[in-house]
A = this chain, B = another copy of it.
Amino acid sequence: MSAVQTGAGESRRRVLRGAVAGSLGVAGLGAASGHPAAAADRRAPGGDGEGKLSVAVLLYDGFTALDAVGPYEVLCRVPGVRVTMVAREAGPVRTDTGELTLMAERAMSEVERADVLLVPGGGNRGTVAMMEDAGVHRWIRRIHRRSTWTTSVCTGSLILGAAGLLRGLPATTYWASRPYLKEVGAVYTPGRFVETGKIVTAAGVSAGIDMGLHLASRLSDEKVAQAMQLAVEYDPDPPYDTGSPEKADAETEALALKLLADSAR
């Protein structure tokens, strides 16, 4: 009797997380497992050669780790989806604090198509560098041309904007960077994430988790997205109510800006 066949209660008693793999004899995530119909509907334009929906996350020196890892964590288990970290060169990429390094699996030059493009935000230095990098903008526009979804978290929307993708469009960004949306031609619009056509921009850092679950429902269906919310036990209980500038006082806001500045590398 497999763990899954015994029902949810018995499952809890029997399995460590993921332990049902063996009992199901599942070979792996792919077009042949999970929800193949949902995946197949959207697979055609940007497959990565493995018959999967490809999510390309653009890493760059000075990006913010959670901006990339939040959406990765809720998308990587969606049936038929393959998340790939991409950077100018494959290899190590440092975050905005300099205390953490993620590996980019592929170089931008190797990635000509993706079903989903996701541009995380970063500290001031990293964001500005990407806003001024014409080569990165060309790559973003190329991927965007055939993407199903083009997305950003935090100041990533300023990078999409600098690439010319947000002219006249509603968008959001990191709370402290909202005024800069205007400079790239976008219209600041409140929201944890803002969808306009095939572009979805999320607010700061942790908002990428909320947007990621929304994308999970778009790439698959609501049942899968709901299951992924449970899979990452996303039942948030923040210790304070200071998560947005509308809720935090001016002192908290000034201290947040100082902590960001002091930790920037």
Contacts and interface: CB of A to CB of B under 8 A. Distances in A.
Contacts of A26: 261-262
A64 interface: yes
Contacts of A262: 21, 26, 28-29, 33-34, 77, 79
Interface residues of A, number: 113
Interface string A1-31: 0011001110111011111110010101100
Nearest to A153: B233
Contacts of A194: none
Contact of A103 (B103, B192, B234): B103
A199 B101 CA distance: 27
A189 interface: no
Nearest to A3: B257
A160 to B, nearest CB: 15
Counted per complex, copies of this chain come to: 2
Interface in A106-145: 121, 123-125, 127-128
Contacts of A125: 18
A209 interface: yes
Contact of A231 (B16, B213, B259): B259
B223 A255 contact: yes
A174 B65 contact: no
23 contacts: A16-B127, A16-B158, A16-B180, A17-B121, A17-B176, A17-B257, A18-B96, A20-B257, A29-B262, A29-B263, A34-B262, A66-B72, A73-B206, A100-B103, A101-B105, A102-B102, A102-B103, A175-B233, A206-B209, A209-B236, A214-B239, A226-B240, A228-B256
A253 interface: yes
**Most chain B beta-carbon contacts within 10 A, residue among A26, A154, A176, A233:** A233
Contacts of A99: 72, 76, 82-84, 105
Nearest to A124: B18
Nearest to A55: B99
A101 to B, nearest CB: 4
Nearest to A242: B226
